Structure 1
Amino acid sequence: MDTNFKLSVRLIERDSRKAVFYKHDGQRFEQTHTVKMNADKEYDIMFTLNPAMGIEKLLLNGEAHKIDRCHDNNDKYEDTRTYVTHYETVSVDVCKRGKRRELLFVLELENGVYMKVSVQCKVYKFGETTHCSWGQQLAGIELDCKIEKCQNYVQILQEKYF
């Protein structure tokens, strides 16, 4: 039987606890949306799965990252599960004008199922606030997903930035 689920991804500045900004870029780049971040800054990235599903491992741009389950009050009342990881942009190069970089997540879900999520980013110099806050605050990226019977990978059916 096929399994359908939703994955929500949120990026939050660790010190201010504020959401990052994003903008719609149309067809100028590989992806239609760009998430804005600062260099030399710390972020929390949260993954919420509905219905609840376990995340066993996380690779972020090819490097293993520790991922912890959040014990959120909502988890008690809904069939969701939330995880968080820490991401630093220390020693990440600032993007030049007209350039973007990929933030690539590879998730290993329970039962050996793999999922790849790519987020297009622009990294601004540390302390830059004008361009980094143009656009809209990113409440989350919602992905409608499907695992077909006898498959070990996730298909992303639809992606929505909000």
Structure 2
Amino acid sequence: MKHSFKVLLSMKKEPGGQPLFYKTDGQRFKREKTIKLNSKCQYRMDLSFTPPRGVESVNFNGGLLEVREVTRDSTASAYSSFFHTQDFDPTKKGQRREVCVLITLKDAGDLRLTIQLKCYDKDNVQHSEWGSNFHCIEYLCEELADPSAVEVVKETFR
């Protein structure tokens, strides 16, 4: 029997929790939507799971993040972590960067999320703070019969 659950992934620029923006690129790249970041900046990434799930680890673009459980009750669980874009050079015009967020869940295996980013110079807020307001990406997921993997069934930007 497959178990389904929802994951919300949100990101904010730190310090101060400044909102991020995204743009719709259509079919020009592998993904339809691109989240805008600045190089050499710190970001907070929040993950929430409905119904609750336990997180063993979160890997962002090949680096293990320190993740802490923020809340948990009978209906949901939430986690928070930070990442830095010191190794992200500004993305060239007409290009995008795909980043893997690999979440290892207790008792469910690995959940692999791919997000498409465009990284601007640290001081280039004219372009990075333009577009649609990025609140979160909602993923509808299903545990596979193979207990070491989870499948993303649907991805929705909010």
User: TM-score range with shorter-chain normalisation?
Assistant: over 0.9
Asked whether 1:51 is paired with 2:51, we answer yes
Equivalent in the alignment of 2:127:
131
Equivalent in the alignment of 1:97:
93
- In the superposition, relative to structure 1, how do residues 112 and 154 fare at CA in structure 2: closer, same or farther (>3 Å)? closer
Over 3 Å off, 4+ runs:
none
Contact 2:108 2:147 in 1 (8 A): no
- The farther-off stretch of 46-55 and 9-18 is 9-18
Q: State which of 141, 146, 154 in structure 2 corresponds to 1:145.
A: 141
1:32-111 matches, cutoff 5 A: 32-71=32-71, 75-76=72-73, 79-111=75-107
Q: Which has the higher strand share?
A: 2
Task: Give 1:84 deviation, angstroms.
Answer: 0.9
Share of identical aligned residues, percent?
Answer: 25
Q: Which has the higher helix share?
A: 1
Task: Give 1:65 deviation, angstroms.
Answer: 1.4
* Cα distance between partner residues in 2 of 1:36 and 1:150: 35
* Cα distance between partner residues in 1 of 2:35 and 2:100: 13
Number of residue pairs matched by the alignment: 158
Task: Give 1:148 deviation, angstroms.
Answer: 2.7
Q: In structure 2, the residue corresponding to 1:114 is in which secondary structure?
A: strand
Q: In structure 2, the residue corresponding to 1:99 is in which secondary structure?
A: coil
Aligned-CA RMSD value: 1.3
Structure 2 unpaired stretches of 5+: none
Contact 2:108 2:150 in 1 (8 A): no
Q: In structure 2, the residue corresponding to 1:93 is in which secondary structure?
A: coil
* Cα distance between partner residues in 1 of 2:40 and 2:144: 40
State the one-letter code of the partner of 1:48. Answer: S
Task: Give 1:15 deviation, angstroms.
Answer: 1.2
- TM-score, length-scaled by structure 2: 0.95
Equivalent in the alignment of 2:116:
120
* Cα distance between partner residues in 2 of 1:62 and 1:40: 17
Q: In structure 2, the residue corresponding to 1:96 is in which secondary structure?
A: coil
Structure 1 unpaired stretches of 5+: none
Task: Give 1:91 deviation, angstroms.
Answer: 3.0
